[in-house]
């Protein structure tokens, strides 16, 4: 019995020494971040899902542009709060589009598309929200 008690005492003291030698304020820590990179530069906008490919002319309706400049979509949306805009899903690869796409960095040729905003026919209405609304002030508090 004394032998068992000595073994218990040695084991207990060893465990206690190990615990006290360890940092007393050790905390488990997990961190992660999502890096999406800079906003794609596309002449007529980009799809709001990875890999954020440039969308062809005719995918986005005129409300997605401010003086010919795309107001963004997905993680880079910088348009007004409570925004609703039209898209033409016929130009979306998720819905079977297999046509050509503009390249990143190309510039829009709005002169070639004059009056298009009167002839646009959207097939879907979408709502967008700014990804981080805490840094924007639309005058509403």
Among 50-64, 79-93, 102-116, 126-140, which stretch is predicted with the lowest mean pLDDT?
126-140
What is the CB neighbour count within 10 angstroms for residue 37? Answer: 8
Q: Which residue has the higher pLDDT, 76 or 12?
A: 76
User: Given this model, what pLDDT does residue 8 score?
Assistant: 43
What is the average pLDDT across 29-53?
83
When pLDDT is cut at 50, 70 and 90, the band that residue 69 belongs to is very high
Percent of the chain at pLDDT > 90 equals: 63
Kindly tell me if the per-residue pLDDT of 135 is higher than 90.
no
Q: Please give the model's pTM, rounded to 2 decimal places.
A: 0.68
What is the average pLDDT across 55-61?
98
Kindly tell me if the per-residue pLDDT of 9 is higher than 70.
no
Of 67, 68, 69, 64, the residue nearest 80 (C-alpha): 64
Q: Which residue has the higher pLDDT, 34 or 122?
A: 122
Contacting residues for 117 by C-beta, under 8 A, at least 6 apart: 61, 62
User: Given this model, what pLDDT does residue 120 score?
Assistant: 96
49 touches 42 (CB < 8 A): no
For 22, 46, 72, 140, the CA distances from 55, given in Å and listed in that order, are 56, 5, 12, 33
Q: Kindly provide the residue ranges of all beta strands, DSSP E only, lying in 4-94, ordered along the sequence.
A: 65-66, 69-70, 83-87
């Amino acid at each position: 019995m004394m032998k068992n008690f000595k073994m218990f005492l040695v084991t207990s003291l060893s465990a206690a020494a190990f615990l006290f030698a360890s940092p007393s304020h050790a905390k488990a820590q997990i961190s992660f971040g999502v890096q999406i990179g800079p906003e794609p530069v596309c002449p007529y906008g980009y799809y709001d899902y990875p890999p954020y490919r440039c969308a062809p002319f005719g995918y986005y309706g005129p409300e997605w542009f401010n003086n010919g400049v795309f107001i963004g979509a997905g993680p880079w949306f910088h348009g007004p709060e409570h925004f609703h805009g039209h898209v033409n899903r016929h130009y979306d690869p998720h819905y079977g589009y297999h046509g050509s796409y503009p390249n990143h960095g190309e510039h829009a040729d709005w002169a070639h598309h004059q009056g298009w905003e009167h002839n646009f026919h959207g097939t879907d209405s979408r709502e967008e929200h700014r990804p981080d609304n805490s840094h924007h002030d639309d005058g509403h508090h």
